[in-house]
Structure 1
Amino acid sequence: MSATADAVVIGAGVIGCSVALELARGGFQVVVVDKAGGPGQGSTSASSAIVRFNYSTLDGVATAWEAFHCWQNWSEQLGLSGGEPVAGYHRAGMVMLDAPPVPGDRARKLFGRLGIPYEDWDADELTRRVPGIDPGRHWPPKRIESEEFWAEPDGVLGALFTPDAGFVEDPLLATANLATAARNQGVRFAFRRTVTGLLRSGSRASGVVLDGGERLSSRVVVNCAGPWSGALNRAFGIGADFTIGVRPMRQEVHEVAAPAGFGPTGPVIADLDLGVYLRPTLGGGLMVGGTEPECDPFEWVDDPDSSNPRATAASFEAKVTRAARRFPGLRVPGRPSGIAALYDVASDWTPIYDRTELDGFYVAIGTSGNQFKNAPVAGRIMATLITEVERGHDHDADPIVFSCAHTPGRIDLGAFSRRRPINAESSGTVMG
C-alpha cells in the first residue's frame, strides 16, 4: 500500500464506505483503514436498516427523503453492472403510532414542505390495515414487571403512515456494494489495521500512524469510526469547540416469528407508546428493537471492544413482551434470540457531519443508530463539505447548503455542525 493519499477515512462501515466513494468520485485518492476484516463488520452489520422519514428537523427529513431515492435505484446509484449481488430495498411502508415524542402535526408539516406522501389513520383504519394489532393507548411505556404495564389501555391510537418507507434487506451486503463501487473508483482498503496516531503538520492534520508504526500521509483525515469515534477524537486532542458530545451505547435487537397475518413485506411499525419498533424479515420473522423509553436505563459503554455482543434474557423479555402487548397473537419464546451492537450516540441523537478545529480533520460521527438509511447522502454531504472547506470556504461562519440530486430538497449542513445548539425538538431516542 502506498504511504500517501489525498484522504484517509477511518472506518469501513456504511458511512465510511459512502464517504470514501464520494470523495473518490470527486477526484481524491482515498485509503480506508479499518480494524475489522472487511466492510461493514462493525455496528453496521447489526443495523435494522429501516428507511424512514420521521425526523425532528426539516434537514433531517430532507436527508432521509433524498436517501430513499438512492436506495430505490441502488445499482444505478453505485454504477454496479457486473452481475454481483446487490442489496434490495423493500418498500414496506411505515406505521408511526401516535405518541408524544413524535408529534404528528410536526411530521405532517415537514412532509408537506418536501412533498412526502403520507396517510392519516384512525384506530379503525389501523386495525384494518395491520391485521392482529391492538390499537390500545398505554403511554407512557412501563417496565414489564410493574402492575401498570398490564393495566387496561386508556384509549386508542391512530397513526401516520408513509407508504415509501421500508427497509434494506441486508445491511452488510449494502456496505459491501459501497466498497465495491469505491474500489471501482480507485479507493484502497487496509483491513485488520488500526489507526494509533494522528500526524500533524503545523496547524493541520497530515495523515495517520498505523499499528506497527507505518505512517500514511494525507491532506485530509475523516473520522468515521462509529462507536470508537469519540475515543479516537479524545486520543487525537480533537473536540475543544464541540457543543455536541458522542458516546457509545449498547442496544439489542431481537427476532421472533411474526404473528399470524403479519406478512414478510411489512409494514415497519414505530411504537413509542410502548417503547419498541418492529420490522418484518423476508423469512417470516419479526425484528424487535427498542426506542429508548424513559423507564429503561441506557446501557452506556466505556470500551466498545469489551461490549457483550449476545442477546440477554432481560432485554429480550422486555422488548418482545411489549411487542406482544401490541400484537396479542405474538408468541414470546422462552429463550432469547438476537444480537447486540453499539450506537454512536450524539447528545441530541442527531449526527455530526463537519470539519473540526484542526484543519484537515473531519468527522462523520454521532450517527445515533438512525443514519444507516442516510448513508448514501451522508457520503455526498461529507465530500461536498470537505471539498469546499479545503478550497477555503469558512463553513463555521457560512454553513454550506447541500442541493439534493433526486429531490428538490436543500439541506443546511449547519444542522449537523459540531458547534450547533442541542436540538431541542429531538425525541431523545433513536428516532432523532
Structure 2
Amino acid sequence: MNDPKKYDAIIIGAGIIGNSIAYELALKGYKTLSIDKLGGSGFGSTAGSCAIIRLYYSSPEGVALAREGYYYWLDWQRYLNVSDPDGMAYYKNTGAMVFKSKINDNLTNVMKSLDALGVGYLELTPEEMKPYLPKPDLRSFHPQKLMDDPEFGKPTGDSINGAVFVPESGYVSDPKLSTHNVEMAARNVGSDFMFNTQVVDILKKDNRAVGVALKDGSKIYAPVVVNVAGPHSYLINQMAGVEDQMNIKTRALRVEVAHVPSPEGVNWEKTGIITSDSDLGVYTRPEIGNHFLIGSEEPECDPLDYVDPDNYNTDFTDQIRTQAMREAMRIPDLPIPNKSQGLVDLYDVSDDWYPIYDKSDLPGFYLAIGTSGNQYKNAPVVGGFMSDLIQYCESSNDHDKTPLQYRMKYINHTLNIGFFSRNREINQDSSFSVIG
C-alpha cells in the first residue's frame, strides 16, 4: 500500500465529485490515484458549473442530499483541513426565489420536502415578490417559445402564481478553485494525481476491474476503479463493458449560459438573489462584473443538443440570446448586448436527470455519473457515501439487493443510496431538467 506504483483505487476524473471521492477514500486509508485527461483539477465541466447551492429539488432524496451538502460548504476550510496556496473558495449566501407554476405543481412537493427537513422558507404572493427583483414584470409568459415564434415575448396571463423564497441558498465563489482545494486536501492525506493523461481501457481479470490502460501504453493496477469522468462517462462505461446492462444511461449535453449586465443603478452582484423561473424556463444568479448569469431550465421548446464530448460546437448559437431575452421579459430594464457573453460547456446527463451513484455489473468498477447541472453542491456528501459504498461492496455486500443506507453527518437523516441505482426505472417525478 505504501508503494506509489500500487493503488487501492483509481478515480477517473478530477472534477469536484471525483476529487471529493478521492479525498474521502484517502481519509479511510485508501491509496488513491486520480487521472484526468485535462491539465488540472476542475478543468472540465466543473469549471463551467454555476456552482449554485440551493435546497429545492423535486424529490425528498434530492432535498436531503442538498441540505447535507450545504453544511459542508459552510464549514469548507475545516472540512478539508488544508490551506490551498491558490486561495480557498467560499460560499456566498444570497437566498433563492423559486417561481410557482403548473410545471412544478406550484411547488407543493418541494415545500413538503423542505418541511420534512426543517428548511425555512417564505411563501410569496406576486406582490410580495417585487422587492426581491429590480422593477419586475410579473405577468405570465408560459408556455415558453423560441425567438422566431411571432408570439415570443407576449404575455399569456395577468400574473404568475407567486414563489417560494429559501434564504439558505447561494453560490460558491469559484468552482474550479474549490476543486483545487479538494485536490490539496486529498494530496495532504496521501492521494496522487495524474493530469494530461487519457484512459483508453479498463483492465479486467477474473471478471473484475483491476486497473486502467493509458494512451501512452502504460498500465496502472488497482482493485477499485471509479468512473467520475463527467461528459465522457458513457465512453468509460463502454470501455468497461457495463453500459449495455444499465437501465439508466448517460449522454453529453451541450449547454449555453448567458452573462448579461445588470440594469443601470442596480448592484446585482452585491444584492442579487438566485431565481428559478419555470414560467420563463430560465434560472439566474448574480455573476462577477455585476452581471446576471442566465441558464436554461430546458423547457419543451428548447432543443436538447446531445454531442460527442470530444467534438462539439463551442460557439454561441441563438440559444444564449433566447435565454437572455426571456429573462428580459421578467426584468424589462435588463440591457441585452448585441454581442453575447457567457460560456458554452457540457453536462453529463442521465435519462431522468438524476445522477447514478452505484456499483456496476463489473465487480470493482463504480459509477458517480450523470451529475452535471445540479450535483456540484452535493459533491462532499457524494464523496462520503461513495467511499462507504465502495467499502460496503468490497466487503461482499450486495448493494443491488440490500442497498447501502447512508447516515448523514450533519442532518438527522438516513439516505437510501439505492435511489441512485443504475438499474432504477426512470423517475417520473423528475423535472427532466437541470432543476433535478
The range that moved more, 9-18 or 149-158, is 149-158
* Inter-partner Cα distance in structure 2 for 1:135 and 1:358: 52
* Inter-partner Cα distance in structure 2 for 1:215 and 1:235: 14
* Inter-partner Cα distance in structure 2 for 1:99 and 1:14: 32
Shift of 1:82: 6.2
Partner of 1:342: 346
* Inter-partner Cα distance in structure 2 for 1:192 and 1:83: 22
Match of 2:299 among 293, 296, 299: 293
Shift of 1:317: 1.6
* Inter-partner Cα distance in structure 2 for 1:402 and 1:16: 19
CA contact (8 A) 1:206 1:219 kept: yes
User: What amino acid sits opposite 1:118 in the alignment?
Assistant: Y
Partner of 1:366: 370
CA contact (8 A) 2:82 2:188 kept: no
Note closer, same or farther for the CA distance 1:259–1:413 as it changes in structure 2 (3 Å cut). Answer: same
- SS in structure 2 of the partner of residue 19 of structure 1: helix
Partner of 1:430: 434
User: What amino acid sits opposite 2:25 in the alignment?
Assistant: L
Matched, 1:130 2:136: no
Structure 1, unaligned runs of 5 or more: none
Note closer, same or farther for the CA distance 1:81–1:300 as it changes in structure 2 (3 Å cut). Answer: closer
For each residue in 1:73-101, what CA deviation from the matched residue of structure 2 results, as whole angstroms up to 9, or x when unmatched?
11011112466511110110101111233
Matching of residues 13-412 of structure 1 within 5 Å: 13-81=15-83, 85-103=87-105, 104-157=107-160, 158-260=162-264, 261=266, 263-265=268-270, 266-301=272-307, 303-312=308-317, 314-412=318-416
User: What amino acid sits opposite 2:14 in the alignment?
Assistant: A
For each residue in 1:368-414, what CA deviation from the matched residue of structure 2 results, as whole angstroms up to 9, or x when unmatched?
41111111111112101101111111110011111111111221101
* Inter-partner Cα distance in structure 2 for 1:128 and 1:255: 23
| Structure 1 stretches of 4+ moved >6 Å | none
* Inter-partner Cα distance in structure 2 for 1:194 and 1:282: 33
- SS in structure 1 of the partner of residue 269 of structure 2: coil
- SS in structure 1 of the partner of residue 299 of structure 2: coil
* Inter-partner Cα distance in structure 2 for 1:58 and 1:304: 32
* Inter-partner Cα distance in structure 1 for 2:350 and 2:325: 29
- SS in structure 1 of the partner of residue 256 of structure 2: strand
User: What amino acid sits opposite 1:120 in the alignment?
Assistant: E
- SS in structure 2 of the partner of residue 213 of structure 1: coil
Shift of 1:149: 2.0
- SS in structure 2 of the partner of residue 147 of structure 1: coil
- SS in structure 1 of the partner of residue 367 of structure 2: strand
**If the length of structure 2 is used for normalisation, what is the TM-score?**
0.96
Partner of 2:417: 413
Partner of 1:10: 12
Shift of 1:153: 3.8
CA contact (8 A) 1:259 1:331 kept: yes
* Inter-partner Cα distance in structure 2 for 1:163 and 1:62: 16
**For the aligned residues, what is the CA RMSD?**
1.4
User: What amino acid sits opposite 2:295 in the alignment?
Assistant: G
* Inter-partner Cα distance in structure 1 for 2:259 and 2:327: 11
- SS in structure 1 of the partner of residue 398 of structure 2: coil
Note closer, same or farther for the CA distance 1:324–1:366 as it changes in structure 2 (3 Å cut). Answer: same
CA contact (8 A) 2:132 2:273 kept: no
Aligned residue pair count: 430
* Inter-partner Cα distance in structure 2 for 1:83 and 1:227: 29
For each residue in 1:134-157, what CA deviation from the matched residue of structure 2 results, as whole angstroms up to 9, or x when unmatched?
211112111122222232341312
- SS in structure 2 of the partner of residue 148 of structure 1: coil
* Inter-partner Cα distance in structure 1 for 2:99 and 2:84: 42
* Inter-partner Cα distance in structure 2 for 1:83 and 1:212: 31
